[in-house]
Structure 1
Amino acid sequence: MKISVSLIIIGLIISCSVKKTPEKDQQAESWAIKFADATMTRYDSLVTYLGKKPKYEYDLAFLASAIDKLGTADSKYSEYAKAYIDYFVQEDGKINGHKLEDYNIDRVRPGLNMLDLYERTGDEKYKIAIETLVSQMETHPRTNAGGFWHKKIYPYQMWLDGIYMASPFLARYARDFNQPKWFDEVTFQIKEIYNRTLDANTGLLYHAWDESREQRWCNPETGQSKHFWSRAAGWYIMALVDVLDYLPENHKDRPAVIEILNKYSEALLKVQDEKTGLWYQVLDMGGREGNYLEASGTAMFIYAFAKGAKNGYLDQKYLDIANKAFDSMVEIMVTTGEDGLPVLTNTCGACGLGGNPYREADYNYYVTEIQVDNDQKGVAPFILAAIELNK
């Protein structure tokens, strides 16, 4: 009997050593924890992430949300995420770094973190801060048709990014505070930008739309920008699956949101790199010089596909696609830093349109913008994708 037990133990050890990677679900979980732990080891606070000065930002709040998801396993993750928001939300509810009069839709995204914290703690300071952000959206500038401007400094412009920055927050606010008018607002914004940025030939969505047709970056006839940017697409598709968490089952526009999710997912599959299962920075130009497989957009698609399939919005094939793409991300885009901790590469630092200095948003612009290792806009969706695939 002792011999049999020994043989079994040896066999198990050999079996484990032969496998290069754990099962997919275990691998996904371990990668989420690895990147969260690496972030917390490198930076005592997200306030100083990547060595930058403290700033109230959507992307660090996004990373905080991703890390917070691991709080059910260990409270240290939630405490770390909370500390970022608490740095900016003062005891009287004032948000340091937020200026309502700027009408910057990016600054609304941290409201999701505040909703989490208010639900968890009941602290009135979070409610006051939440209402400040809602007040911004009450008076936020709009296009003539009612679409939210991306920022006051970008008049008459809707960007795909902006849908994620405000819509999940407003949808959850509508649910948590029994304010159903915001459900209608959210679904209107989703449909409006879809119709304004849609390319009928590919089913893809252009990065932005200028109602005034005055920007050099836009098509003077349609107002659409020139290219399909992966991360903008990622922001939009994440907004769809996240809004559906809060949108009532009987809401009149719920079927329309699910229909858009399905159409857009199919369009994204058509431009997926066949060899790697990943996506390019400029989605439809994979073979063009300078283009590269981009991590943040890819991770966002993986997250949305996995969540969409698991919740029954998308065909189950998308779960398999997400798993394969995640494994490919780990193989191609994850390296080890000098500190022995994981590094996510291939992440575009930022891309915008117009402004000062002016961004033409042409092909060369998108593919030459700096790539940043461990950029929060890549690490956050990578963690979320890993968690989603482990559920």
Structure 2
Amino acid sequence: MKKLLSFLLLTLFAASLTAQNTNKFFKSNHIKRTMNKAAYWQLKNPKHELYDWTNGAFYAGVFAAWETTGKKRLWNAMIDMGEANEWKPGPRLQHADDHAICQTYIDLYRVEKDQKMIEPFRKTVDEMIATPYKTGEIRPITWWWCDALFMAPPALVKLGVTLDEPKYLEFSDKLFRETYDLLFDKEENLYARDMMYQTNWKEPKTEANGEKIFWSRGNGWVMGGLVRVLDELPADYENRAFYEDQFLKMAERIKSLQQDDGLWRASLLDPKSYPGGEASGSGFFTYALAWGVNNGLLEKSEYQPVVEKAWIGLNGLIQPDGHVGWTQPIGADPRANFTNDSWEVYGTGAFLLAGSEVIKMDW
């Protein structure tokens, strides 16, 4: 009996310590410190051209971290980035990847009111609207891959809202709906990465367990893009319901695919083939679900526990030096291997975006 009592007391004590250790992750000071640590490490370890899509995701997170922590160092880093880029998008006129960085330009413009920060992007979009897109076999539309829905729509919608120019919102609506019609699987409520990952493609691809291939990061970027669009659109915008409906359906599906450690695997429907929790997809899902709770689109009692588990899991990916480990490298599907030493700037961006919403929740 004494042994049983001792075991129960030890179990309760261990559970108490675990609760104490995880509770710290939700304290405001801890969230800010961790966000700054991750951002500072990444700024010291740059990668890719500053206008690149990877940095588009990173600096979106840096702006969110600056809003959250108010650190001047983060603000200066964004201004330096914009100046180095001459406030231009990437060189490809119609490629969504080259528009992602412009999200941060517009966010900075809203504070500074300096026209040079947005004028190059406005001119690019006007030229893009006037220039027909050249299609191909797997590129029948402008935004033919699902990640594009994070890259370009938030930038276009931010531009339209900022300048009170409906044409930019309408253009984004048109291209977004084309991607939805092409890639959204209404049975799974998930996006295929591109046409080659659909079951009706001439050479169908499946996971080892026979399931369809749905990439965690690709769907994470879609959900991140959806909430960044929804965060901008007026409540009475005529097409807002289109985006809300997608977000709600995807949120429910993503919730069902969360693993025991709170994270999501590189392949959403075959987690056993990719056992490690992946930082960038998990970070974007956490960001999107937390935003949904904070903005009243998702039921708090149902989704806040999902966010809680996810945020604890994400904190476990932060390495002692501050870098966000377990980030899958650049690719187009779940197959690329990654470890605790694997990092990419977009993994940090996703973590910073997640923290910026988690800190707003009522813990």
Q: Same fold (TM over 0.5)?
A: yes
**Counterpart of 1:324 in 2: which secondary structure?**
helix
**Deviations 1:94-117 (Å, cap 9, x if unpaired)?**
x385243xx321001111122123
With over 3 angstroms needed to count, the CA separation of the structure-2 counterparts of 1:259 and 1:387, relative to structure 1, is same
> What is the aligned length?
330
With over 3 angstroms needed to count, the CA separation of the structure-2 counterparts of 1:224 and 1:64, relative to structure 1, is farther
Q: Structure 2 length as normaliser, TM-score?
A: 0.81
Instruction: Kindly indicate whether residue 70 of structure 2 is the aligned counterpart of residue 79 of structure 1.
Output: no
Q: Which amino acid aligns with 2:114?
A: D
Cα drift, residue 286 of structure 1: 0.9
* d(CA) in 1 for partners of 2:181, 2:303: 24
With over 3 angstroms needed to count, the CA separation of the structure-2 counterparts of 1:295 and 1:136, relative to structure 1, is farther
Cα drift, residue 76 of structure 1: 1.7
Instruction: Kindly indicate whether residue 118 of structure 2 is the aligned counterpart of residue 127 of structure 1.
Output: yes
Q: Where in structure 2 are the equivalents of 1:41-190 lying within 5 Å?
A: 42-43=44-45, 49-50=46-47, 54-72=49-67, 73-89=70-86, 95=88, 98-100=91-93, 103-139=94-130, 141-142=132-133, 155-156=139-140, 158-190=144-176
2:315 to 330, 352, 361: 330
Cα drift, residue 221 of structure 1: 5.5
1:375 to 341, 344, 352: 344
Cα drift, residue 206 of structure 1: 1.0
Q: Structure 1 length as normaliser, TM-score?
A: 0.76
User: Would you say the 8 A contact 1:285–1:291 is kept in 2?
Assistant: no
Counterpart in the other structure of 2:32:
29
Counterpart in the other structure of 1:3:
none
Q: Which amino acid aligns with 2:32?
A: E
1:350 to 330, 350, 353: 330
Instruction: Kindly indicate whether residue 285 of structure 2 is the aligned counterpart of residue 301 of structure 1.
Output: yes
Choose 192-201 or 243-252, whichever is displaced more.
Answer: 192-201
* d(CA) in 2 for partners of 1:205, 1:178: 31
**Counterpart of 1:20 in 2: which secondary structure?**
helix
**Counterpart of 1:281 in 2: which secondary structure?**
coil
* d(CA) in 2 for partners of 1:315, 1:223: 40
With over 3 angstroms needed to count, the CA separation of the structure-2 counterparts of 1:294 and 1:177, relative to structure 1, is same
Bigger relative contact order, structure 1 or 2 (CA pairs below 8 A, ≥6 apart): 2
Cα drift, residue 136 of structure 1: 4.6
**Counterpart of 1:373 in 2: which secondary structure?**
coil
Cα drift, residue 305 of structure 1: 0.2
Counterpart in the other structure of 2:267:
282
User: Would you say the 8 A contact 1:343–1:373 is kept in 2?
Assistant: no
Q: Which amino acid aligns with 2:283?
A: A
**Counterpart of 1:228 in 2: which secondary structure?**
coil
Q: Which amino acid aligns with 1:387?
A: S
Cα drift, residue 125 of structure 1: 2.1
* d(CA) in 2 for partners of 1:374, 1:180: 38
* d(CA) in 1 for partners of 2:272, 2:83: 45
**Counterpart of 1:249 in 2: which secondary structure?**
coil
C-alpha RMSD of matched pairs (Å): 2.9
Q: Which amino acid aligns with 2:267?
A: V
Structure 1 regions of 5+ residues with no counterpart?
A: 1-14, 44-48, 144-148, 210-214, 353-360
Cα drift, residue 140 of structure 1: 5.6
Cα drift, residue 55 of structure 1: 4.7
Q: Which amino acid aligns with 1:58?
A: W
Q: Which amino acid aligns with 2:121?
A: I
With over 3 angstroms needed to count, the CA separation of the structure-2 counterparts of 1:126 and 1:200, relative to structure 1, is closer
* d(CA) in 2 for partners of 1:174, 1:105: 16
What is the percentage of aligned positions where both structures have the same residue? Answer: 22
**Counterpart of 1:368 in 2: which secondary structure?**
coil
With over 3 angstroms needed to count, the CA separation of the structure-2 counterparts of 1:140 and 1:164, relative to structure 1, is farther
With over 3 angstroms needed to count, the CA separation of the structure-2 counterparts of 1:136 and 1:238, relative to structure 1, is farther
Choose 377-386 or 174-183, whichever is displaced more.
Answer: 174-183
Q: Which amino acid aligns with 1:228?
A: F
Counterpart in the other structure of 1:212:
none
